């Protein structure tokens, strides 16, 4: 083969690679557009499909009895039977947090010798969203 023939075949090779890359890019864009179209169609119909996707995600639920701030010196002096004073008052509702966000308040109950909490006040979604945006 001459240099001229090699040049033509190299150019053909480069053109073919460019066409393949463009075709793969177009396929990826079409697939992405299809996924977003499906999601937007479901949202427009009011479907719960998008909501169902998050139902199995685990979250941390915490019931907070109270808090206090203590110096390390005092912390090291704690022993069996020590009492730590908390800022919560006896009989005051306890905070229920999900991943650190307050969602409700409640009172302690005992069911079958296990502690639980009865929700007495649930924070509305609008109140929760306003706290998140801060």
Provide φ and ψ at 117, rounded to 5°.
Answer: -135, 135
Whether 101 shows a pLDDT value over 70: the answer reads: yes
Residue found by looking up tokens 């169609």 in the block: 41
Question: What is the value of pTM for the model shown?
Answer: 0.51
Q: Evaluate the CA torsion angle 18, 23, 27, 32 in order and state its sign.
A: positive
Q: Which bin fits 81, alpha (ψ -120 to 50), beta or left (φ > 0)?
A: left
pLDDT in tens, 64-96: 888 899 999 999 999 999 998 888 777 788 889
Task: Say if CB 65 and CB 86 are below 8 A apart.
Answer: yes
pLDDT in tens, 29-66: 666 666 556 555 555 555 566 777 888 899 999 988 88
pLDDT for the residue 69 = 92
pLDDT in tens, 107-130: 888 888 888 889 999 988 888 777
Whether 17 shows a pLDDT value over 90: the answer reads: no
Q: Report which of residues 123 and 132 the model is more confident about.
A: 123
Task: Say if CB 102 and CB 131 are below 8 A apart.
Answer: yes
């Amino acid at each position: 083969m001459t240099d001229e023939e090699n040049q033509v075949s190299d150019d053909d090779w480069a053109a073919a690679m460019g066409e393949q890359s463009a075709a793969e890019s177009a396929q990826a864009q079409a697939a992405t557009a299809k996924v977003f179209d499906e999601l937007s169609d479901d949202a427009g119909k009011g479907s719960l499909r998008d909501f169902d996707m998050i139902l199995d995600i685990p979250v941390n639920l915490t019931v907070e009895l109270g808090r206090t701030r203590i110096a390390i010196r005092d912390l090291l002096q704690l022993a069996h039977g020590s009492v730590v004073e908390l800022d919560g008052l006896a009989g005051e509702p306890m905070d229920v947090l999900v991943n650190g966000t307050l969602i409700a308040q409640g009172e302690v109950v005992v069911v079958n010798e296990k502690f639980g909490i009865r929700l007495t006040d649930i924070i509305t979604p609008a109140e929760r969203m306003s706290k998140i945006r801060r």
